[in-house]
Each structure stands twice: as C-alpha cells, then as structure tokens.
C-alpha cells in the first residue's frame, strides 16, 4: 500500500481546513491484502490514511450522488474521470463544487486473477506475483499480466482535468475499443444468443453493477418500482436478461466506459461487452463519446435534424 | 401462537367475492365480503378481532389486510381495501363473483380477555378503522362482559368515515358512546368537528379500569398519545395496531420486525408498554 | 463417541458411486470460473478441499427463487391453480465447510419452528449433509469468535477429515449413522482418529487469534441510535452481495411472476440492504438510510436472533468480507460496536 505523497495529503488537509471542501473521498487500506477501500475524510488530521496504488479499484464518482449540495474532493483514475464528465454533462454535478486529485493509473489489480495464477488464498500471494514497482527492487510480474481485463481496454489512464496529479502519466494506449464488439457481431444470432445467455448465467441479480455505476442515479430504479411493478426479480434467465438489457439501454449515450461495473461484479460477469456494444452504436450514429467533453449535449436528449433515423421502426 | 391451520402456510384458500361496495365518497376504499369456496376451509377458519389476512390475486401478488368483520357476524368475512399499490389497484377492479385468494388468519388479536369487565375506549382515524369495526362488533355481541364502551372515530370529511350504517346504529345505542368527528366544519354535518386528539381531550374518558385501543395514521397516533398520558392512561392500558411492510405474514421473511419483535407474528397489536421497550422503527 | 469409518483413497470412487445411488450429488466444482456448489453430472468428480466456495450452499435448502404456486393465464380461479410440491428428491450435499453446516441449525429454527415451511423442510429432510473438516482457514475466517471451529460438526450428518491416504468419516446424527452403516466401510482405528485429531489441531492453529463475539448482544443494547451505524455504512453501496453469499441470511420476498403460459407465485431472496425492503405502501420507510439498514443487519444477526432463538445469525465464514465490492468488513463494524459508548447514542444521528 502506498500512502499519498506528503504534499498531496497536505493540500487535501488544507482544502478541508479552509472549508474549500466538506469531504474528501479517496482510498485507504482495507482489511484485505491487495484491496483498497473507499475512505471518507472530513478532518484534516485524517488525510494520512489516504493511499494511491493499483489496489484502488472502485470508481468513487458513484458516491457523489449522496453529497449533492456539498463541496467534495475526490480521487479519480482516468476511467473514473470519464464517468464524471458524463455525469456533469447531464447536469448532475458542477466542476466548481469539486476538487479533483487525479491518479495517473497504469491499471488496477485483478485480485481474482492473481489468486488463480498463484493457486492460493489472497493472503498467501507470493512476492513474485506483485506488480512491478510494488516492492523495493524485486523481480516482479509485469502489471499487464495481472491488471484487470478492463484495464486492457483503458480509454484514458490519466484524467485531463484536475487540481492535483499523483504519479507519472503512463503513455495512453488507445486500444481498438470495439474489437470485442465486432467479434461478437460477426457471430450468428444463435451464437450470440448462446454467448450472452452463458455469460449472463453467472449473474445473481445483486445489482452491484447498478449500485456502483455513477450514471445509475435514478431515485428509484425500474427494477425496484412497485407501482407499477416492471420486474419480478427472480434469477430465471428471462428476468436476468431483462434487467441487464434494460440497464444497458438506459446507459446508451451515457456510459463513458469506466468499466467499474465489470470490476466490482461479484460474479465476474463481463458486463462491459454489453455496454461497449451500446457505446459503439452511439459512436457510429452520433459520433459521441460520453466521457470526453463535459459541455457536449448528451446525444439521446438532443435533437438534430440530421440525426440518423434508420433504427426507428 | 397457534400454528397455521393450513398444511402449507403459503397456500391461499380459494375465495369468492360476494359483494363489493364503495366505502367512502372518494372511492379510494372498497369493502369486500368474501366467502370460502370450500366448506371445509370455512370450518377451519377461526379468527379474533385484530388479526389480518394476506389477500392475493394470481399474477398480481399478495398484500396484508386487517379483518373488518367479527366472528360474531355469522357467514361474514369482510375486508376493506384502500387503493395504494399494485395489489390494491387490482383488487379495486374486481366485482362480485370474482375469485381471490386468502391466507390467514395471521398475527395476534386485540386483548379481549384483558378488556373483560373493564371499560373500553376505542380511538380510530381514517382508514385504520377496519379491525376496530371487528372489535366493536365483538364487544357489543357480549355486551354484558364489558363496562363502558366509548368510541371516537374521526375522518377528514363525513364522506370519508367508513362503515356509515354501523356508525349510525352504534350512535343510536344507549349502552355505548359513539363519537364521530370530522376535521373541519362541513355543510350538513351536525356531529362533532375537530381532530381526534382534541375531541379525546374534550371527552376526557376516565383511565380508571379502562383499556384504550388506538388505530390511525401516524400523525394521529403521535398527537393522541400525549392526550392519553395527560388523562392518566398508563402505557400498559393503551394498545395499537401496526402496519409495517409484510410479505410472508408468518415471521420468516424478515422485513416487518421492530427490534426482535415481528409485526406479523408478535403483532400487529402491541401495547404501548411493549412498544416503548422497542426501537422506533415503524 | 460417534462412530467412525476409514475411507481409503482406493475406495473413494466406489463410495461416490454409492452416494450417487443414495440421491443426486451436490458438491463443490468449478463452474464458469467460480468455485461453487452444484449438482454433479453422472461422471463428474467433486473438487473437495479448495477452501470456501464463493457463495454458500444455502440454496440447496433455500433456493434463490422457487415457485410455490403455478397458474394458467386465463385462470383467475384459485381452485385451478396448481400447488408447487415441496421437492422430495433425495440428495447428498458433500464437502460442506463446517461453518456452512453450522448455519443449518439456525435456518432450521427459522423455517421449521412455529409455522412449518414445507419447501425448506422437505429439502432438509431429504438431504444427507456430509461436512469436510476445514484444513484451510484464511485471514477472513472468524468462526472461532462465534464458538465454531474447523472441525465443528454441528448441522452435519457426517464429518470427513483428510488423513494420510484417505479420509476419516465420523457419523454425527442418526441419519448419518444409518447411511454410513450401509456403505461397507471398515471402522476407523485409533491411528486414523489420531491423525484426524492432529489435522483438526493444525487447522485451529492457522486461525488468527480473535476476540470472542459471545455476549455481544448485551453490548448492542443501547446502541440503536449510535452514530457508528451511519459511519460504518458510508461506503456501503447497498448491493446486498453480503446477504446473498451469507449462509445464514434468509430474508425473502413473495412475488407473482408472469410467464408466457400463465405464471408462478415465487419466493425469492431479498435483503435488508435494499432501500425498498421496508417501504410502506404510503411511501414511509422505517429504515430511511443505509445506516439504519446496516444496524438492522448487525442487530438481526447479533441481537434479535439471540433474543428469539438463542443462536447468532452469523457463523463467521467471512464471505461477506471477501465478496464485498467495497471491502466493508463486518469484523470492523463489530469492533466499533465493542468500542462504542452507549452515551454517544444520544447524539442520535441515525
């Protein structure tokens, strides 16, 4: 675990002391090895708990909806910052109420993958499985081998808009984001059905994906509504499909590809495949990327005469 | 607690609706008189005022409702349903002859034994008069067993008072005191005007050898309790009926608890003495 | 002293075949990259001894959703609705961790005391539970804080322990005794028993020292309005994964599920972590924030259940810790309870 650099901690403490922020949301060590946990810091003297390293997997932007009206400092990875952009362009937050500590993020660890590689419990992970730069001068596994699968899709390692920066920005990789989408589109419809039925069979309908998604800020989600009731919430495949497909569609033109849903899924469902398909479609139809420009209007709430209508039945 | 009288406690009895009536002028409450389809079920069904049932519609779901009729009314099983959610909206679309499911009776009952030879003060407000109706009918059925009976029942307008014909019949009896009140003056209304707590204060029933039963919206309960205290009622003399969200009705599904008590199993009727020992989670 | 048999590796396959004749075999296997309990295919071997499965096996007795009533689309007629019969298929649940087995006595009380739940009861009656003594306690295990242990056999019919060249099989209940009597195994000798005892001691050694939770219900009194609940819950995202993966959590909902040719009334898992769990029809919610919901979770497990049935609602398996997407550790919340001063509760932030 790596404590935040002293000058960054001092700055956050100063923000708190001066009342520039009411709260700082960052990361601290959890009780589990290789896994950080969100930290909510309100007193300047608490800032020493704050850390930044490859264990800081959660997207903290999802907590913002609870603190509307407050001034908040927040630690963001590149992916998290993209989701903040999408949130801001929907008018859910304004930059003036935020102090952003940006993390130059080479990727976060996939602890499950580490455990699988090492065939042991988390606490017994051998030193050689630790990522490069983790401990002093040992021969270590390249981070690329044990970072989360969604980090290979990284759209942005380092936030572009921030008040403070932690770490050296790694070169941006600009991967072919939609390669996986095209691969699945090339399958026959039967094969696609089989693929997604299989993938979604892992889902146990805990809604962690929704609860961690910064863009899922409805006061009452459609699956929870009682009058009328849209959803019967069993783990029968039709219910699971209904939930995941509806949630994905609700995120069309809004999902910024932070992939937080996929990283937190307790069942390891590759949700990013569904969401990337929608992102690919929105890009193709509207040349819009939800995570880049906070001043851009969301495509599905904006009418332009030249908009593509081909999908209208 | 007696075990459920059906083998599988989740299975409803098949019922048929005998009669549906609009209970109040804004049509938000309908009253259903039900009959068992199977005579064996009717035989097995034994209840006390204060208990509730889960009414259900296939494909829609179940919801809990207090039993509004008394065992002293032969062949009558009555529920009044206020339109609030999915199940109640569907129930409101039903008519005489339609099928419906019923699970119960569930929960505990008003403390009839404790009331014996004592005075009974019944305070009701708005829609929360259903099981009070059952209680009053039962008390009057064994009238000689009880002392003075005083009923204070209030609603916003005359047309929102439930069970008008019962109220009028009780009003004309000399062996009980029936006070109907509405919140504000209303053309043609010659009865009491005033909120239930204020009417209670004016009426000033004696706490001596009296059991008070209070059912109403939370705001009415909140303002009625201090009045009862001022009149000298102790917590163990006051009972109320709670309505936490329920599903199974048999103490298993885990959502209606207040502290370690389950409203569906240990309630819905609680004394204020019991409630004061529990967290305010209702 | 319970009876004990020796199950040498050479007889293991034949023994599995015997179990399969007894009923359908449910054991830990890898599925979709998840180590979990599932119904084994005829030729499939259980993967025993790889630690705890990600999710508990409580679904074997209390599935995530199950039909209680089936009906046809046109049938608004209850008399024509078909009752879903409790499942009477004989089954063997093999390789259950002692902590998971320890959850069964508590679930038995919930589902079979008072009103008898025929669905749970049928599965319980028809399932032979064979526990496997835990040899791999991890840092998140705290069964020993709740009176359990790696070789605790409560809730199991039989207990297996890995010894040199096979297993020691101890019978715990009469059902376990009568089943084992028909398996043609040799009685265990003193050496087998001694090896098992040593294995149990080695596992106990691996457990981290921890303060017992016995008596925590007394500590919880007076903490209802304590600020610790809101503080503990601040990072909680209310996903309810802790409750789904918990072997003891048993809250459920009853809903009607429309299907193409009619529908089902189903019972399905629900969770106190969800905002909608206690919302009244009026919109009023007696547990309006996540702090109140965390308080319910802790109070239910460590105060209300002990008061009602004399058992805790937690066996210390640690799944809620390892599966939490924000790493909220119930042990830290319980530590906060231990440290809390009742007078702080008067601040009443929850």
For A191-219, write each residue's pLDDT tens digit: 999 999 999 999 989 899 999 999 999 98
Question: Average pLDDT, whole number, for chain C?
Answer: 91
Q: How far apart, in Å, are the Cα atoms of C301 and each of C146, C253, C316?
A: 12, 19, 11
Residues C238 and C334 occupy one common structural domain: yes
C115 → closest Cβ in B3, B59, B279: B3
Given C206, C235, C256, the domain boundary residue is: C206
C244 → closest Cβ in A58, A62, A204: A204
Comparison of pLDDT for C347 and C263, the residue scoring more: C263
Q: How far apart, in Å, are the Cα atoms of B131 and each of B66, B80, C47?
A: 6, 10, 57
Q: Is residue C185 part of a domain?
A: yes
pLDDT at A124: 66
Q: Do B89 and A226 touch (CB under 8 A)?
A: no
Please name the residues in contact with A227: beta carbons below 8 A apart, sequence gap of 6 or more: B84, B85, B86, B89
Residues C139 and C18 occupy one common structural domain: yes
**A214 C-beta neighbours (distance < 10 Å), count:** 25
Comparison of pLDDT for C111 and A312, the residue scoring more: C111
**Closest approach of A229 to chain B, Cα-based (Å):** 7
pLDDT at A136: 37
Q: Do A264 and C325 touch (CB under 8 A)?
A: yes
Q: Do C265 and B247 touch (CB under 8 A)?
A: no
Q: Do A37 and C323 touch (CB under 8 A)?
A: no
Q: For residue B6, name the pLDDT band (cuts at 50, 70, 90).
A: very low
C268 touches chain A (CB under 8 A): yes
pLDDT at C350: 42
Cβ under 8 Å to C: B residues 13-52: 13-15, 37
Q: For residue B30, name the pLDDT band (cuts at 50, 70, 90).
A: very high
- Residues C77-94 as b/e (b if ≥16 CB within 10 A, e otherwise) read ebeebeebebeeeebbbb
Comparison of pLDDT for A129 and B67, the residue scoring more: B67
Q: How far is CA B279 from the centre of its chain?
A: 23
Distance between CA atoms of residues C40 and C18, nearest Å: 14
Please name the residues in contact with B116: beta carbons below 8 A apart, sequence gap of 6 or more: B145, B146
Size of interface A-B (CB pairs under 8 A): 9
Residues C185 and C238 occupy one common structural domain: no
Q: Do A226 and B85 touch (CB under 8 A)?
A: yes
Distance between CA atoms of residues C120 and A175, nearest Å: 51
> Nearest 5°: CA angle at A244, between A241 and A247?
140
Residues C14 and C133 occupy one common structural domain: yes
Residue C73 confidence (pLDDT) above 80: no
Chains in contact with B, where contact requires at least 3 CB pairs less than 8 Å apart? A, C
A32 touches chain C (CB under 8 A): yes
By CB atoms closer than 10 A (0-12, 13-18, 19+), residue B190 is exposed
Complex ipTM, two decimals? 0.89
Distance between CA atoms of residues A205 and A201, nearest Å: 10
Given C150, C175, C206, the domain boundary residue is: C206
Q: Do A31 and C331 touch (CB under 8 A)?
A: yes
Beta-sheet strand order (sheet of B29-36): B61-66, B52-57, B99-106, B13-22, B29-36, B78-82
Q: Do C272 and B58 touch (CB under 8 A)?
A: no
pLDDT at A126: 58
Residues C193 and C265 occupy one common structural domain: no
**Closest approach of A224 to chain B, Cα-based (Å):** 13
Q: Could you give phi then psi for residue C272, rounded to 5 degrees?
A: -65, -10
Distance between CA atoms of residues A226 and C44, nearest Å: 43
pLDDT at C345: 67
**Closest approach of B164 to chain C, Cα-based (Å):** 25
Task: Mutation target for C interface from A1, A57, A121, A210: give the one with most C CBs within 10 A.
Answer: A121
User: Which residue in the block uniquely carries the two structure tokens 């580490």?
Assistant: A114
Residue C216 confidence (pLDDT) above 70: yes
Comparison of pLDDT for B191 and C302, the residue scoring more: C302
A264 touches chain C (CB under 8 A): yes
C33 touches chain A (CB under 8 A): yes
The continuous run of DSSP H or E covering A64 comes out as: none
Residues C292 and C254 occupy one common structural domain: yes
Helices (H) and strands (E) in chain B, counts: 8, 15
Residues of C in contact with B250 (CB under 8 A): 114-115
Cβ under 8 Å to A: B residues 37-66: 61
- Number of Cα atoms under 13 Å in the Cβ half of residue B126: 14
Residues C154 and C14 occupy one common structural domain: yes
pLDDT at A135: 47
Residues C54 and C171 occupy one common structural domain: yes
Number of domains in chain C: 2
Assigned token pair, A45: 């003297």
Assigned token pair, B52: 């509730």
pLDDT at A228: 73
C51 touches chain A (CB under 8 A): yes
Domain residue ranges of chain A, discontinuous segments joined by +: 6-166, 179-301
Residues C9 and C133 occupy one common structural domain: yes
DSSP state of C172: -
> Nearest 5°: CA angle at A233, between C325 and B107?
105
Q: Is residue C266 part of a domain?
A: yes
Strand partners, C72: C262
Residues C288 and C307 occupy one common structural domain: yes
Q: Do A234 and C274 touch (CB under 8 A)?
A: no
B95 touches chain C (CB under 8 A): no
Q: Is residue C211 part of a domain?
A: no
Coil, strand or helix: which one is A253?
Answer: coil
**Closest approach of B47 to chain C, Cα-based (Å):** 17
Q: Do C241 and A266 touch (CB under 8 A)?
A: yes
**Mean pLDDT, residues B112-123 taken together:** 95
Q: Are strands B29-36 and B13-22 parallel, antiparallel or unpaired?
A: antiparallel
Residues C175 and C222 occupy one common structural domain: no
DSSP state of A51: B
Residues of A in contact with C276 (CB under 8 A): 220, 224, 226
DSSP state of A43: S
Closest CA to C35 of C237, C179, C245, C290: C245
C246 touches chain A (CB under 8 A): no
Q: Is residue C42 part of a domain?
A: yes
Domains of chain B: 13-105 (2.40.30.10), 112-241 (3.40.50.80)
Size of interface A-C (CB pairs under 8 A): 103
Q: Which domain holds residue C53?
A: 4-206
Q: For residue C86, name the pLDDT band (cuts at 50, 70, 90).
A: confident
Query: Closest chain C residue to B104 measured between Cα atoms?
Result: C115
Q: For residue C83, name the pLDDT band (cuts at 50, 70, 90).
A: confident
Q: Do C252 and B1 touch (CB under 8 A)?
A: no
**Closest approach of B280 to chain C, Cα-based (Å):** 8
The number of residues in chain A equals 313
**Closest approach of A201 to chain C, Cα-based (Å):** 9
Residues of C in contact with B245 (CB under 8 A): 277-281
pLDDT at C80: 67
pLDDT by position in tens, chain A (length 313): 588 999 999 999 999 999 999 999 999 999 988 889 999 999 999 999 999 988 899 999 999 999 999 999 999 999 999 999 999 999 999 999 999 999 999 889 888 888 777 766 766 665 545 554 444 334 456 667 788 989 989 999 999 999 999 999 988 888 887 999 999 999 999 999 999 999 999 998 989 999 999 999 998 899 888 767 788 788 888 889 999 999 999 999 999 999 999 999 999 999 999 999 999 999 999 999 999 999 999 988 888 888 877 777 6
Closest CA to B258 of A67, A62, C299: C299
Assigned token pair, C141: 């295990």
**Closest approach of B117 to chain C, Cα-based (Å):** 32
> Nearest 5°: CA angle at C212, between C209 and C216?
150
CB B261 within 8 A of CB B274: yes
Given C182, C206, C230, the domain boundary residue is: C206
pLDDT at A137: 36
DSSP state of A295: T
Q: Do A236 and C65 touch (CB under 8 A)?
A: yes
Coil, strand or helix: which one is A299?
Answer: helix
Beta-sheet strand order (sheet of C252-259): C82-83, C65-72, C262-269, C252-259
Residue B2 confidence (pLDDT) above 60: no
User: Which residue in the block uniquely carries the two structure tokens 């989740």?
Assistant: B10
Distance between CA atoms of residues B218 and B126, nearest Å: 11
Q: Could you give phi then psi for residue B73, rounded to 5 degrees?
A: -100, 105
Residues of A in contact with B61 (CB under 8 A): 229
Q: Is the dihedral of CA C249, C255, C261, C262 positive or negative?
A: positive
| C241 conformational bin, left if phi > 0, alpha if psi -120 to 50, beta if neither | alpha
A150 touches chain C (CB under 8 A): no
C117 → closest Cβ in B60, B218, B252: B252
Residues of C in contact with B100 (CB under 8 A): 78
pLDDT at A131: 53
């Amino acid at each position: 675990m790596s404590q935040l650099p002293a000058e960054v901690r001092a700055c956050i403490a100063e923000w708190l002391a001066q009342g520039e922020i009411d709260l700082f949301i960052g990361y601290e060590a959890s009780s589990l090895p290789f896994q950080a946990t969100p930290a909510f810091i309100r007193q300047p003297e608490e800032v020493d708990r704050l850390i930044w390293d490859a264990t800081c997997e959660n997207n903290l932007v999802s907590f913002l909806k609870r603190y509307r009206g407050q001034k908040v400092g927040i630690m963001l990875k590149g992916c998290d910052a993209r989701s903040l952009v999408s949130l801001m362009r929907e008018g859910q937050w304004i930059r003036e109420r935020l102090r952003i500590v940006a993390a130059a993020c080479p990727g976060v660890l996939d602890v499950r993958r580490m455990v699988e590689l090492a065939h042991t419990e988390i606490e017994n992970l051998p030193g050689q499985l630790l990522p490069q730069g983790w401990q002093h001068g040992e021969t270590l596994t390249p981070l690329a081998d044990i970072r989360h699968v969604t980090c290979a899709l990284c759209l942005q390692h380092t936030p572009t808009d921030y008040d403070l920066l932690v770490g050296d920005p790694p070169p941006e990789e600009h991967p072919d984001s939609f390669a996986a989408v095209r691969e699945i589109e090339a399958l026959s419809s039967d094969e696609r059905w089989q693929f997604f039925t299989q993938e979604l069979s892992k889902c146990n309908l805990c809604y962690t994906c929704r609860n961690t998604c910064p863009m899922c800020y409805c006061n009452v989600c459609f699956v929870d509504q009682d009058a009328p009731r849209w959803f019967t919430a069993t783990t029968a495949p039709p219910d699971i499909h209904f939930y995941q497909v509806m949630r994905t569609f609700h995120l069309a033109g809004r999902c910024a590809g932070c992939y937080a849903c996929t990283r937190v899924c307790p069942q390891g469902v590759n949700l990013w495949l569904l969401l990337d398909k929608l992102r690919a479609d929105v890009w193709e139809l509207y040349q819009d990327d939800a995570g880049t420009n906070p001043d851009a209007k969301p495509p599905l709430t904006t009418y332009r005469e030249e908009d593509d209508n081909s999908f209208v039945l | 607690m007696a075990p459920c009288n059906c083998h599988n406690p989740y299975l409803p009895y098949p019922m048929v609706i005998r009669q549906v009536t609009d209970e109040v002028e804004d049509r938000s409450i309908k009253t259903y008189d039900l009959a068992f389809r199977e005579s064996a079920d009717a035989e097995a069904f034994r209840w006390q005022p204060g208990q509730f049932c889960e009414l259900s519609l296939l494909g829609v779901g179940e919801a809990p409702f207090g039993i509004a009729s008394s065992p002293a009314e032969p062949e009558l099983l009555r529920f009044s349903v206020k339109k609030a959610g999915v199940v109640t909206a569907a129930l409101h679309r039903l008519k005489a002859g339609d099928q419906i499911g019923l699970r119960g009776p569930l929960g505990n009952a008003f403390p009839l034994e404790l009331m014996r030879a004592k005075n009974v003060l019944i305070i009701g407000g708005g829609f929360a008069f259903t099981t009070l109706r059952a209680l009053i009918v039962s008390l009057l059925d064994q009238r000689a067993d009880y002392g003075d009976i005083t009923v204070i029942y209030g609603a916003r307008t005359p047309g929102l008072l439930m069970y008008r014909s019962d109220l009028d019949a009780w009003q004309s009896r000399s062996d009980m005191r029936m006070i109907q009140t509405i919140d504000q003056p209303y053309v043609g209304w010659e009865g009491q005007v005033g909120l239930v707590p204020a009417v209670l204060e004016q009426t000033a029933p004696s706490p001596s050898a009296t059991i008070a039963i209070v059912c109403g919206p939370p705001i009415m309960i909140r303002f009625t309790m201090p009045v009862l205290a001022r009149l000298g009622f102790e917590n163990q003399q006051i009972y109320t009926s709670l309505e936490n969200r329920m599903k199974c009705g048999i103490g298993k599904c885990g959502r209606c608890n207040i502290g370690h008590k389950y409203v569906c199993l240990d309630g819905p009727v609680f004394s204020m003495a019991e409630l004061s020992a529990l967290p305010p989670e209702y | 002293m319970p009876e004990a048999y020796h199950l040498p590796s050479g007889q293991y396959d034949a023994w599995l075949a015997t179990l399969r004749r007894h009923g359908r075999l449910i054991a830990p296997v890898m599925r979709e990259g998840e180590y979990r309990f599932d119904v084994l295919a005829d030729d499939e071997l259980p993967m025993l001894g790889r630690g705890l499965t990600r999710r508990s096996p409580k679904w074997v007795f209390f599935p995530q959703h199950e039909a209680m009533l089936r009906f046809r689309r046109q049938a608004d007629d209850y008399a024509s609705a078909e009752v879903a019969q409790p499942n009477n298929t004989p089954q063997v649940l093999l390789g259950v961790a002692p902590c998971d087995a320890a959850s069964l006595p508590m679930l038995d009380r919930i589902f079979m005391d008072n009103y008898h739940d025929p669905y749970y009861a049928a599965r319980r009656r028809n399932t032979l539970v064979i526990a496997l003594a835990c040899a791999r306690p991890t840092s998140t295990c705290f069964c020993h804080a709740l009176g359990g242990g790696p070789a605790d056999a409560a809730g199991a019919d039989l207990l297996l322990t890995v010894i040199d060249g096979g297993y020691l099989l101890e019978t715990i209940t009469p059902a376990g005794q009568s089943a084992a009597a028909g398996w043609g195994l040799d009685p265990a000798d003193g050496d087998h028993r001694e090896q098992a005892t040593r294995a149990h001691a080695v596992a106990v050694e691996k457990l981290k020292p921890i303060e017992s939770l016995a008596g925590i219900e007394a500590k919880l009194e007076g903490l209802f309005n304590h600020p610790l609940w809101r503080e503990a819950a601040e990072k909680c995202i209310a996903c309810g994964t802790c409750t789904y993966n918990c072997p003891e959590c048993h809250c459920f909902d009853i809903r009607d599920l429309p299907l193409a040719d009619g529908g089902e009334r189903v019972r399905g898992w629900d969770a106190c972590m969800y905002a909608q769990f206690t919302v009244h029809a009026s919109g009023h919610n007696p547990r309006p924030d996540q702090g109140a919901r965390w308080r319910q979770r802790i109070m239910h497990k460590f105060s209300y259940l002990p008061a009602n049935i004399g058992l805790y609602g937690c066996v210390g398996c640690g799944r809620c810790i390892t599966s939490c997407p924000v790493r909220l550790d119930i042990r830290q919340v319980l530590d906060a309870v231990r440290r809390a001063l009742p007078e702080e509760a008067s601040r009443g932030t929850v």
